[in-house]
Amino acid sequence: MARSYGQYCPVARALEFVGERWTLLIVRELLLGPRRFTDLMTGLPGVSANVLAARLRDLEAAELVAKRSLPAPAASTVYELTDHARGLAAVVAAMADWGMTLLGQPATTDEIRGAWIVLALAVTTPAPRGADATYEFRLDDEVLHVRSHGGHLQPRHGPAANPDAVITMGPKTLAAIATGDLDPNSPQANKLVTTQGDSRAARRLLMTFSPIRS
Amino acid sequence: MARSYGQYCPVARALEFVGERWTLLIVRELLLGPRRFTDLMTGLPGVSANVLAARLRDLEAAELVAKRSLPAPAASTVYELTDHARGLAAVVAAMADWGMTLLGQPATTDEIRGAWIVLALAVTTPAPRGADATYEFRLDDEVLHVRSHGGHLQPRHGPAANPDAVITMGPKTLAAIATGDLDPNSPQANKLVTTQGDSRAARRLLMTFSPIRS
DNA sequence: CCGCATCCGTTTCGATACTG
DNA sequence: CAGTATCGAAACGGATGCGG
């Protein structure tokens, strides 16, 4: 298990479980749904297999992650968050909110995944209550969807079963909207973003993703 | 500087700044006000001087911490958070909130500081708007105060200039209230807690610190 | 005393290679 | 696909030393 801080403090205790390198990023990946080992490897470029395996072992021992065997044809195992670990969504959200302010321009060595931006936006953006809807995002070859439900935006891996709107763009374009570098209402954004289905709702969602400018 | 994750993701970026061991606990200490190097050493039992010095150097380089020289008589330097770093209060709050659920009983090797519990409670507890008040806490030899202002509870090191109420107890008693192991209205709590000044308000504050039981 | 810097043994990380 | 084995590099932790 992880090294203790020897402090009777909730913050220190939380860090003993998720404070090690890569751990919170694994949680980030699993917040969008169950994943296989190799899915996590590709979603976490830079991590090495032994570290990932060690973290998953520790998280499983702490009952924050459960290993589940998929039924018949798929013959594979997936990792998923337990209910207790889903409480970490607030921690990841706070990190995403603060981290957005210092994201800046991507370094040449930075990998970009649409899932990371979608997650950050979804967990930090309040959704209108009572107006449930599902949006599918296609960001290069990544497909995800976001469900607006109960005042929250719930992001998920994979396509939506019955999306109200489909939004297609590059992950960098979405990042530019998130950082405020690109106004989703600008003609420039219109060239970079394609919407299908309820385009009006899709536009409204993208506008809520744009930070308030002073 | 800290090692990069090589990911263009707000969460990863935040972790590059505050994800290393001890860093977020240093922020925890500084959220209650400026501190000298040795203050931080005693507030962070277990940290070694070289690691603390290294973290402070990195935080200063990232402009999250500023080193300030105290005027004439005190002839000393203090570290304090910059405005940007104060945005981490939300991260620490989320950690404290989640960590509270797994705090349990203190291990025999655990140090206990009243400041840790007061901070955790203050940042996770909503305060009534429009009813500003100042509470002084005396937890063994530690003295802190909490100001209710604008719907938030602002914790601080040291005594209050003009407290509405003074609350005296052991840090473990406060922790027991925080975890729900002790009902602040119980006769047992009455024996362990002393209040001066506006005792009614003090009781109300302690009740808001108690988690909702199901 | 305060605020570190230096040294050194131990632990952890990261990259690559290898296996059922 | 899902990891384990190995090994050099980096980080951590504890002790000591030292200038202001």
Chain B residues 172-191 with a CB less than 8 Å from chain A? 175
Q: Which residue is nearest to nucleotide C1 (CA to C1')?
A: B38
Contact between chains at B91 and A91 (C-beta distance less than 8 A): yes
Question: By the CB < 8 Å criterion, does B113 face chain A?
Answer: yes
How confident is the model at residue B72, as a pLDDT?
A: 66
At residue B62, what are phi and psi to the nearest 5 degrees?
-85, 0
- For B76-113, the pLDDT digits (tens) are 899 999 999 999 999 999 999 999 999 999 999 999 99
How confident is the model at residue A93, as a pLDDT?
A: 98
At residue A14, what are phi and psi to the nearest 5 degrees?
-60, -40
Q: Which residue is nearest to nucleotide D2 (CA to C1')?
A: A37
How far does the CA of A29 sit from the C1' of C2, in Å? 45
Instruction: Using a cut of 0.85, tell me whether the model's pTM lies above it.
Output: yes
How far does the CA of A52 sit from the C1' of C16, in Å? 15
Contact between chains at B45 and A94 (C-beta distance less than 8 A): no
Please state, in angstroms and rounded to a whole number, the distance separating the CA atoms of residues A22 and B15.
Answer: 9
Q: Which of A14, A46, A109 sits opposite B99 (nearest CB)?
A: A14
DSSP letter string, A83-144? HHHHTTHHHHHHHHHHHHTT--SPPTT-B--HHHHHHHHHHHS---TT--EEEEEEETTEEE
How far does the CA of A162 sit from the C1' of C10, in Å? 55
How confident is the model at residue A107, as a pLDDT?
A: 93
How confident is the model at residue A73, as a pLDDT?
A: 73
Question: By the CB < 8 Å criterion, does B141 face chain A?
Answer: no
Residue located via tokens 């065997």:
A69
Using DSSP bridges, classify how beta strands B165-169 and B133-139 pair: parallel, antiparallel or unpaired.
parallel
Task: Find which of A42, A91, A92 to mutate to test the B interface (most B CBs within 10 Å of its CB).
Answer: A91
Residues of B in contact with A112 (CB under 8 A): 7-8
Contact between chains at B46 and A109 (C-beta distance less than 8 A): no
The DSSP call for residue A27 is: H
**Residues in Cβ contact with B205 at an 8 Å cutoff, skipping those fewer than 6 apart:** B135, B146, B148, B165, B167
Please state, in angstroms and rounded to a whole number, the distance separating the CA atoms of residues B156 and A125.
Answer: 30
Q: How would you write the pLDDT of chain A (214 residues) with one tens digit per residue?
A: 679 999 999 999 999 999 999 999 999 999 999 999 999 999 999 999 999 999 999 999 999 999 998 876 776 899 999 999 999 999 999 999 999 999 999 999 999 999 999 999 999 999 999 889 999 999 999 999 999 999 999 999 999 999 999 999 999 999 999 999 999 999 999 999 999 999 999 999 999 999 986 6
For chain B, list residues with pLDDT below 50: none
How far does the CA of B50 sit from the C1' of D17, in Å? 13
Query: The dihedral of CA B150, B155, B156, B160: what is its sign?
Result: positive
Instruction: Write out which nucleotides of chain D lie closer than 7 A to a protein Cβ.
Output: 1-6, 10-17
Question: By the CB < 8 Å criterion, does B49 face chain A?
Answer: no
B78, containing H or E segment: strand B77-81
- Is the C-beta atom of A213 closer than 7 angstroms to strand C? no
Q: A with B: how many residue pairs have Cβ under 8 Å apart? A: 169
Q: Which residue is nearest to nucleotide C2 (CA to C1')?
A: B38
Contact between chains at B106 and A12 (C-beta distance less than 8 A): no
- Between CA B94 and CA B78, with CA B166 as vertex, the angle to 5 degrees is 60
Q: Which residue is nearest to nucleotide C6 (CA to C1')?
A: B50
* Per-residue CA distances from B128 to B25, B119, B153, B189 (Å): 28, 18, 9, 23
